[in-house]
Amino acid sequence: SLMMKPQVVFVLGGPGAGKGTQCSKIVQEYAYTHLSAGDLLREEKAREGSECGQLIGSYIKEGKIVPVEITISLLQKAMEETMEKDEKMFRFLIDGFPRNENNLQGWNKVMDGNADVKFVLFFDCSTEDCIQRCLERGKNSERTDDNRESLEKRIQTYQQSTRPIIEQYEQHGKVRTVDASCNVDEVFASVKAIFDKEG
């Protein structure tokens, strides 16, 4: 059958900026599927028989970015499965990817021409708020990286590797920035304004 070309919104922002929270709200109102690269990696890590589970686990704890071959194959598989189930579901929120130059090159190599990146939704949140939110969640979450030590590394990786990717998209007029420091509903109001216009 003739499948629609996937339409992708990359969702970026610091650790704890609210990417996952806002993506959950977006899919309730708009015909998008939420794919969190971090969630897919955590699932793969937990999967029995996974060949790269250990590697993924150590990268996540160290706040480092997993080699793109792993991430992109998980993303591709999830996109294909979604579209096979329902061909009308060809719009995707790809949350937490691409995070560095390696991710971007891997995406371009595999997906260029096979998917359209509509824009980058960027949740702009201060480092202090990001740390606070993750530590708060860390009190009762199973994430291995919501402790101070891992968080410092995640923040550093975000600033050194991910910000430059956002800046590259910015130069191409592709970034839609949302102030992510206010409460969940206020942030979502700004998100809605963007999706009503061009989602």
Provide the binding-site residues for Mg ion, judged by CB under 5 A.
Answer: 19-20
Cα-atom radius of gyration of the chain, to the nearest Å?
A: 16
Q: Which is nearer to Mg ion, 36 or 117 (CB)?
A: 36
Task: Tell me if 163 is assigned to a ligand binding site.
Answer: no
Question: Which 97-156 residues touch ligand UP5, going by CB under 6 A?
Answer: 97, 99, 103, 133-134, 137, 154
The reply to whether 33 sits near ligand UP5 by the rule CB under 6 A is no
Stretch that binds ligand UP5, among 17-25, 112-120, 171-179, 189-197 (CB under 6 A): 17-25
The reply to whether 15 sits near ligand UP5 by the rule CB under 6 A is yes
Query: How many Å apart are CA 29 and CA 17, to the nearest integer?
Result: 21
Provide, rounded to whole angstroms, the least separation between the CB of residue 2 and ligand UP5: 30
Return binding residues: 16-21, 42, 64-66, 96-99, 103, 137, 143, 154, 182
